[in-house]
Structure 1
């Protein structure tokens, strides 16, 4: 059998199952979603489901992790063009606002259900934790070149993450009335008002249209 990570049949089946899960989460609490409901929605057999997952909990955990992995794989980019003055022995990744908003726009149903449905708070917590981890790594990689504003780093990160995710949450809730480009420019302006000399957490979020390449 082909590698399960690359076999088109496996990928298609798992994607169909994830889509079914999102559809069901619009109607039911997670604890009320059964394997039978999932397989019927995805138009697959229970036998096929259990070829891929141990049980419902395994399916949900892995599906949510894959949604987050796919999102961050799409939006994290090489920061070399945005942090030219930084000397580092390792590649520093930054968060592309344009890619993030475009990705969420394309997957609006999924993200709206997972972010704005109170029953799905665990997903929002995971998203928050993942973004927090990236910012902590960014701070560590910048090291002594990072601007010290006299505030505990954990508070700075909490503020920035809350601002970013709060805007995404409200953008979805309002029906995405602004384009991804407009959202990118708006956040860039907001973060620009708290720009510091040197490198700060706002430099982690970039507008690719301003790159030299």
Structure 2
């Protein structure tokens, strides 16, 4: 592995490799290192300076994308921001969500999101309320990802604002409502 991960050349090379890797994953998940090297026009030695193998590259791609989602949702799950992140990499997310390519991505993402949920719920003392909120969170999250898969498979046939509005309507989001519901773990506000 490269020692200086902040060197501009290292950053640029890894970005090129991640981008090419994502493109290849969307075309055929069983791509070879040779396919990747041909696409980015680098040597095998350069690749192995940054990654141990293809699985290591895919893990890096997954972590980069997962952190994009987590970074836009530091506290509540920001539905509008996540829709935006997904739309920027729509081809990748379409094959991940609709063609079961790179199943590790979905598992890792949900593990990270559940970790955040558990951290949020750890502040509560009522175990029955925790279970109730966790159940609602799971239902809403499943609906969100199913909705995203449908939106992507339909060619993103509505705007991001329309999609956010659809999600708000599905769950009948009323931000002024009081009480502890799983909806409080999500942010459905439209971007400014």
Give the TM interval when normalised to the shorter protein: 0.7 to 0.9
- Distance, in Å, in 2 between the alignment partners of 1:152 and 1:205 is 15
Q: What corresponds to 1:99 in structure 2?
A: 81
1:21 CA drift (Å): 1.4
Partner of 1:207: 188
The alignment of Structure 1 onto Structure 2 pairs a total of residues equal to 190
State the partner residue of 1:25. Answer: 25
* 5+ residue gaps, structure 2: none
The separation in 2 between residues aligned to 1:186 and 1:146, in whole angstroms, is 32
Distance in 2 of aligned mates of 1:194 and 1:145 = 24
RCO comparison, higher one (Cα < 8 Å, 6+)? 2
- The aligned counterpart of 2:34 is 36
Quote how far apart the aligned CAs of 1:70 are. Answer: 2.1
Cα separation, partners in 2 of 1:50 and 1:194, compared to 1, 3 Å = same
Partners of 1:146 and 1:200 within 8 A in 2: no
Residue in 1 aligned with 2:169?
Answer: 189
State the Cα deviation string for residues 134-182 of structure 1 (Å, max 9, x = none).
22222223x1589939x65553333122111111111111111111111
Distance in structure 2 (CA, Å) of the matches to 1:39 and 1:146: 52
For the aligned residue pairs, the C-alpha RMSD in angstroms reads 2.9
Task: For residues 22-56 of structure 1, give each alpha carbon's deviation from its aligned partner in whole angstroms, at most 9, with x where no partner exists.
Answer: 22223323xx3221111111222111111111122
Equivalent in the alignment of 1:135: 117
Q: In 2, are the aligned partners of 1:104 and 1:111 still within 8 Å (CA)?
A: yes
- 1:69 counterpart residue number: 67
Structure 1 unmatched ranges of 5 or more: 78-92
**TM score, norm. by length of structure 1:** 0.75
Match of 2:96 among 110, 114, 120: 114
Distance (whole Å) between structure 2 residues aligned to residue 199 and residue 147 of structure 1: 12
User: CA separation in 1, counterparts of 2:191 and 2:105?
Assistant: 32
- 2:58 matched residue in structure 1: 60
TM-score, L = length of structure 2: 0.83
